[in-house]
Amino acid sequence: GAADVKVTITDVHLCCDSCVKGVDKAVADVTGLTAKADKDADTVTLTGPDTATVQKGADALVAAGYFGKSSDPSVKINADTGAKNQKMQSLKIEGVHLCCGKCVKAVNAALATVPGVTGNTAAKGVKSFEVTGDFNDKDVFDALKKEGLVGREK
């Protein structure tokens, strides 16, 4: 048979063992896929019998709130955040991976780089949180992605 397809996703937010477990859980339902999260390298390596399987794994990671760069252009990190690239005073975001205090710190650090953001309600274990201020929604998601995290407009 053909060789397995192996793709490494880099710059993924993996601050603790719970983040690593979250990766395993995210891709558990993708038949034939193996995922190896490396906490020290901030990488997730996806291996599967074909590109379609590996793509499903990548999609599952994004759905679980993780983001990164794919080593293989044929496997895309598709993050449809719903951002409209417009000014907002309040933005509700769901689906960001927030398993611990360090994840929350990463969100806070990301949002601190966004012009006009004055506050957010991100907390450990929440399914969604609100960002407030006077800012562009696309900037918020771009900043989260730089931290290896992703979510969607609620």
CA distance 70 to 149: 14
Say if CB 47 and CB 4 are below 8 A apart: yes
Say if CB 28 and CB 17 are below 8 A apart: no
pLDDT band at 1 (very low <50, low <70, confident <90, very high): low
Instruction: Quick: pLDDT tens for 51-104.
Output: 999 999 999 999 999 999 999 999 999 999 999 999 999 999 999 999 999 999
HSE-CB for 96 with a 13 A CA cutoff: 35
pLDDT of residue 3: 79
pLDDT of residue 19: 98
Instruction: Quick: pLDDT tens for 12-48.
Output: 999 999 999 999 999 999 999 999 999 999 999 999 9
DSSP 27: H
Q: pTM for this structure?
A: 0.95
Nearest to 97 by CA among 128, 118, 142, 68: 128
